[in-house]
Amino acid sequence: MLDACGLAWGPTGGVGYQIATGIDVLHADSDLDILVRTPQPLARIQARTLLAMLDGAPCRIDAQLETPGGAVALREWAGFAQRVLLKSPVGPCLCEDPWAVRERAA
């Protein structure tokens, strides 16, 4: 589904850990944590469409959007809040545009 959208992505969280280590950490109720690379801005309407597609998957998918300034939760970016939490290399900050790298720390 993400490949069809032309988005580069990969697993993180428990799935990523299990792939990297070979240690069984997953169970039937495990969610799938993924990182979606978005070097260019993803419009909120596109985020809502992507979230709706992921919400139709057989397991819960928790997606983070990687931007040039850090990462933001897809579910949060797809919402209607004016500002969202960007997790950046210099710390978390609330911002209106996760692709604008000149945001202030919270």
Closest of 33, 65, 31 to residue 48, by C-alpha: 65
Beta carbons of 57 and 34 less than 8 angstroms apart = no
Residue 1 has pLDDT above 80, yes or no: no
For the stretch 27-42, pLDDT in tens is 988 999 999 999 999 9
- Cα 30–chain centre separation: 17
In the annotation, is 33 catalytic? yes
Active-site option among 3, 31, 62, 97 = 31
In the annotation, is 97 catalytic? no
Cα–Cα–Cα angle for 88, 86, 37, nearest 5°?
Answer: 80
Domains of the chain by residue range: 8-95
The pTM of the full predicted model, rounded to 2 decimals, is 0.88
- pLDDT confidence tier of residue 5, bands split at 50, 70 and 90: confident
Q: How far is CA 86 from CA 14, 19, 53, 67, 98, in A?
A: 22, 27, 23, 9, 6
For the stretch 53-83, pLDDT in tens is 999 999 999 999 999 999 999 999 999 999 9
